[in-house]
Amino acid sequence: MSLTLAQFNTLSQEEAIARLLTCCTSSNWAHQLACARPFIDQNALLMKSDDIWHKLQTNEDDLLEAFDGHPQIGNVASLKEKYRNTQNSAAHEQSGANNAEDDVLEALAQGNQDYLDKFGFIFIVFATGKSAQQMLDLLLARLPNDRTTELTNAAAEQNKITRLRLNKLFGPA
């Protein structure tokens, strides 16, 4: 449910955090952003979000907590059980996977498992506007990387996803 920035600024701390956790499941990010209220405009909120996220990237636990809030690409069904609070956002973001050929989806599922086995976290990509084949190509291109590189890549993709979800939460800027 969309709300205005003025409404968000007046929510209780707990409610503001709960709303932010639908955009990114890093509890430190949500707490820090809620504490930074009030925001004068949506751009100020986005800039503060970016700043907080950038600082949290030095803490792997914060990154992994945020990454854990995502279903695996191509595994939208798991979304309904494990990630109810991000269901609407993630289902739309992964809509490119919905029309893919079975062989691409199978390769994507296998690639995701290979990625998880190698790095210890799921493949994070800003999926909006990307086909399943494009996501598979990105996954295969990133799979040879080392873990440090992938933490950095995934953190950058997470921030793009968070910004999209914040914009959806508050409507057009």
Q: Find the CATH number of the domain harbouring 11.
A: 1.10.3330.10
Residue 19 has a pLDDT of 97
159 and 26 Cβ atoms separated by less than 8 Å: no
Give the pLDDT score at 74: 56
Domain hosting 114: range is: 1-173
Look at the chain and report how many structural domains it folds into. Answer: 1
- CA atoms of 72 and 81, how far apart (whole Å): 13
- Taking phi over 0 as left and psi of -120 to 50 as alpha, with beta for the rest, 120 belongs to left
- Please indicate whether residue 70 is annotated as part of the active site: yes
Walking along the chain (173 residues) 10 residues at a time, the average pLDDT comes out as: 90 98 97 98 97 95 94 50 39 48 81 94 91 91 98 97 94 64
CB neighbours of residue 127 within 10 Å: 26
DSSP per residue, 44-70: HHHHHHHHHHHHHTT-HHHHHHHHTTS
| Catalytic choice (31, 54, 70, 92) | 70
Amino acid 15: pLDDT: 97
The predicted pLDDT at position 96 comes to 45
